[in-house]
Structure 1
Amino acid sequence: MKIPEEEYLLKCTAACAGCSDSLTLRYVLKAAGPDTVLVVPACCTSVIQGAYPYTAFNLPVVNIAFAAAAACASGMSEALRALGRKTHVIVYAGDGGTLDIGIQSLSGAFERGTDFLYICYDNEAYGNTGMQRSGGTPLGARTTTTPMGKRHQKKDIDAIVAAHDPPFMATACPAYPRDLFQKVRNALTFRGPSFIHVLAPCPPGWRFPPEKSVEMGKLAVKTGMWVLYERRHGKLSLSAPSKTALKNPAPLEEYLSPQGRFEGMDGADIEALKRHISENLLKLASEEAKG
């Protein structure tokens, strides 16, 4: 599999150093190609594209209100299909605009069978406005609105999307770029709604050095904190790195300790996270085995 050399995310974005959001988007657009339109709600991406009249995006972008990305994409997809065009319509939204504020329009678009790809890049907080807690923030993580650590587990948006029975959904991480690239390619071969949930480690928000973004992504997968898989017409397949994690997971502390957001995390919360990870891995492995 050869990743194209063409670039649709140009140099000199307004992204932070080590930004996994922009790294993710780079591979997403390489997989989608030039006949693509992005729908971007309020999030980090709406900032890193640059200030008018300049932009780092080398294709059409629609900036839309926080709650309306999937609704906008629904109308856009219907209009393009009515014109006989196969243009890829991709929503590219953060966890705040997906798990929280935009969940109603996402659900509506999936219920209607909209022909589009929805990608949630998940940095596990409202990164654009100062790292407030979101539904994607994991248990124990310190944010500006959970200074003593979040008291709830991360919302399982993947189970919510799976309940809509889309033809294709997947998880990914830019620390595994070929896996991400191929999953976007796979998603775009299906008619109807597809969903990809991408973990996007955030250096300033998670409080780790920017040169460690890829390392943090790999550790998330190796510890089982983030599981990579595809689900096609309801049939789940674990990706190779997560099959390894299922058999021999790395210690969770290797993932937590480099991140300032987990500093001083209570031992009981760490044990609760470990149980949650183990239960989730076993659940997904059991689903894969059932076929």
Structure 2
Amino acid sequence: MSEILIAILLGIVEGVTEFLPVSSTGHLVLATELLGYDPQRWAVFNIAIQPGAILAIVVLYWRTFWAVLQGLMRGSRESIAFVRNLLIAFVPAVALGLAFNDQIETLLENATVVAWALIVGGIGILVIERLARPKQSGGIAAVSVGQSASIGLVQCIAMIPGVSRSGATIMGAMALGIERQTAAEFSFFLALPTLTGATVLQMAKHHDAITSGDLQLIAVGFVVSFVVALAVVKAFLAVVTKHGFAPFAWYRIAAGAVALIALSMR
């Protein structure tokens, strides 16, 4: 298979899974491993195309971002609280990401860790869906400082590939009493600084090894992930509103089990 086709395939995987609670990084690691690609060859690519999916959120929620920007210029308390909460939730990922970057990269090469994390995470989603009693609404600005900090700490669990950044933040928010839609949107918006920071860190760390050909592949993956994510985010919110997160939990468990079987047969 040509590298362009691999870039398109991985871009599709990224766009489909980035904002679902199924772990985009985990799926990219498994796709790379099970399809026989060189994991080290595609490790930076898998992180570098994440901004494509992030851009989809900017496009889909541009009115929200514009309203927040206008509010900040007026000194609106609601807009200030919106930005404050996201920044507070972002800080733990920065601290731990910088401190344990090498260990995180090592985990990205372990497909077995991903498979088990998918299964355990799926069980965790089912438990939280059954026990959580979300009551707090009012949007991201209504989330407290303490809740924001807690969501940020929970997000750090997703540094283990297969856990799912969106899954951890959404379930963490629901466990703290935040209703589904606000929890999902908090996760979407928190992705902007978190994934952008991770991409910048990896590109800066490995810039000497990135060739012009790599940049072309990254551009292809970026565009594909952007287009796919545009469609997936709307569909995701529709499914969650009607069925909750249980379908994604059962998918995680099934995907992790299949991956473990496939890895054991290699």
User: What TM-score does the superposition give when structure 1 sets the normalisation length?
Assistant: 0.26
Structure having the larger proportion of residues in helix: 2
Point out which structure has higher relative CO (alpha carbons under 8 A, 6+ apart).
2
TM-score normalised by the chain length of structure 2: 0.28
